[in-house]
Structure 1
Amino acid sequence: MEGDKIEKPNTCEVCHASFSCPSKLKIHMLTHSGEKPYSCDVCGITCSDKFKLKRHKRTHSGDKPYDCQVCGSAFLEKSNLKVHLRKHTGQKPYSCEVCGASFSYKTFLSKHMRIHTDEKPYSCKVCGLAFSEKSNLKVHSQTHVDDKPNSCEICGLTCSNKSNLKRHLQIHSGEKSHICQVCGSTFLEKSNLKIHLRKHTGEKPYSCEFCDKSFAYKSDLNKHVRIHSGEETHVCHICDSVFLQKSHFKIHVRTHTGEPPISCEVCGLTCSDASKLKRHVRIHSDDKPYVCQVCGSAFLEKYNLKSHLRKHIGPKPYSCGVCGASFFYKSDSKRHMRIHTGEKRHDCQVCGSSFLEKYNLKIHIRTHTGEKPYSCEVCEKSFSHKSDLNRHAKTHSQVS
């Protein structure tokens, strides 16, 4: 009803804003005059009204009157508390008009929009190269620094600071200081351990906005969203499985049709997909794409290069206090100690035998199951252990 509206008879002659009482108009007029009659007795800063001065003084007193009822965090301003609460509510009031993505904070939306506009506001003063993120510019700037005190002695990579260099060196040393307390897996970065833990907790923090499915990893969510976006997908008409990549779809179809996998034209080895066959063919072609930047040695596989790099590292950092044996990795040192302690953590549930290593238990179980996973390509005989297969294979290669 119109009778319920608050009258604002006090109007600003400059911008025509209206106020309910003369005192508010008086305060407003200071925005036009630039006058700031209220000053802080601690630092001398001036404010246009008493309320702003009161809020400012909290920075000196440490008074944070606005408390979060969920986690107890305290804030100087009510507006800051309001923004903070979005962490608990999941509220995302800022939406992209182009793709519909939503964000909790306006700054996140602004950064996201650069994807559509290709805006790159951060330019390198040396070469002019532009970046969408300030952090990317900071990393790039290190390429122009002549004095490089934080450089890796093994591969020459330069880092912006000592802490980044220390993390990088773990790649060469193999040190993985972040250990999963559930399964013992180790990781270079704390963030990777956090992601890994979702396998044990079942946490799925990434939810689809179009259906009720949720995912443990953002990459899985991005793949899933393509189904809703209308992007071309490949659907199996037998079991209704959906594939985003045609190559994955073709591999899947073989499980229904029984179509034989692709084989190597040189030795006849069969592979389940083209990428595996491509890696295998390198054995015959001498293609070694992984090159050591220190000595120039080349390798077929990435993991072979990683093992080779240990030669350039120097001494093994982890030593056994009992026998003096040294190791590149802390996990290897821990396993080695079981030899001295006699600890056998892996028990057979059938006969009670115990083993130092999990893979030894796995091999032992074949004595109960009769499993023979290693087959001879010549006569199709099967063996429980690879060493037995290798010995058997020699009987075919012997000249009669």
Structure 2
Amino acid sequence: MAAESEVFKLEKDLCRCCHAEGNFHKLFEPSQQENFCDMLRNCFDMNITPVTGNLSDVTNAICPECVVKLKDASSFKRQVQQCEEKFYDLYYKNALFDNSYKGTAPTVKEELDIDFTTLEDEKKQCSDIKMDTGDNTEDEMHLSDLKKVKPKAKVKNKKCKKITQEGCEDKSRKDVEKPSDYRTSDIRDIVKLIIMFSTATPFRWSYSKYMCFFCDRVFTKFSELKQHHYDHYEIKLDSSLRSITTETKVKFEVSQLSCKICPKDMQTLDDLLDHITITHKQGYNSVVRCSIFAFRLTDTEAPCQQCDQTFSFFGNLLSHVYKNHLGTGQFLCDSCGKGFPTKFMLKKHVRLEHTNADYVCQTCNMSFKTHGAFSYHRITHKGDFNCAQCPERFPSWYLRKRHVAFAHDKSLQIACELCSKTFVKYNSLKWHLMSVHHNDKPFACDLCDFKCINKTYLKRHMVSHSDTRPFQCHVCVKAFQRKEHLETHVRIHTNDRRYVCKECGKGFVQIAGLKVHLRAHHSTA
């Protein structure tokens, strides 16, 4: 280990694990069979990345002594994971027995670990033993005698050998592909226990609405979902658990939590699980506890259980929990080292942050980062949308839906309970409530007092703190911070006066100019 006052004058490679100097292995090189960076990350949760500049190559190394220690640590971790997996397999199959228990325990067959592969090898070994003991007689064991000794050795040996060669390869491959050391059935077991033994309400969150865990019916208020949940006592629970995978985070509402068997009131979900385990003798894999989320929700607020923050909408609370209370996450990005709790979030991060390929519209050459935004945009190029109740036509399905809601079918309107304003989409009502009535603006600027309701508005605001002007006019070389400002400016050069006064027919480049003109020349006040 290097001394604290030592100065490195690197002429050779520097080991990043012990600071030895020499000609060493690279921590990661595509031509290498082993990726030591991944081994360090998996064993010790350390992300060692090469520095930039001239020192990048010589400091991205590991010495042979540290390689041996790292391989031992990786093997030991794999051994512990495999043993834990085998232990819980035996535990759930009731194949573990206490010798102090006086009841009758079923016998477990033990297979002999025989290393003989063929009868000829066994015969040869017997003859070698005779030679070693000095017995030079020509008496040899007959083939019939060999068959009488261990008639099942050959069959069991093949089985053991098959497990050794194929089973271990599958298990090691499983460790590489699957970071978590538990199975889908373990998560389903703990969810089943909570539903059967407690009054907790399971639910899903989809498109800014609460969804029933059993029938996928959606609700805008959680009190409505909770009342609906009582209708599902007779349902087959197993059919609802099939959608759960190792990446699923199951959500429970636990404001009135109690045990159904006792009954006994519980403060937290951990207290309930301990009670079920100790009092009712129900076991589960404690590793999967991280896949269960507990919330205390009402129709008006959604408080965080880990800190003192309170939100008006559950979607904001969920984003807050993922961002602040899940740590780095178990799925790490290879490019920037950022962690995510699920594979889906990691893939979305890689696509948005580290992939240059965008979805480009072939009609208007506009590009989009996500497939959802691209699909929504393509609708505008599919022609007119006809109203089924009148001859009017619209360029998009949303404008047609808005027309139907306000002109023909008022039941499609969503009214705000605090004012007289109405909307067509629930998401529009949500933003209206957050910005107007609740003043719930969870996204704040670090440089000023600006606050907003979503991340998109915050990104637009952050441009005002930057001195860069990337959008430049090709006619007069004037530069702008925003693309829409450049597009408005170009209309001056093309004489695009799209805003026309209905009174006198005068046209203007910007709508602000038209408003000033109306106040100055056509105002009745």
Q: Same fold (TM over 0.5)?
A: no
For Structure 1 versus Structure 2, the TM-score category normalised by the shorter chain is 0.3 to 0.5
TM-score by length of 1: 0.41
Structure 2-normalised TM-score?
A: 0.33
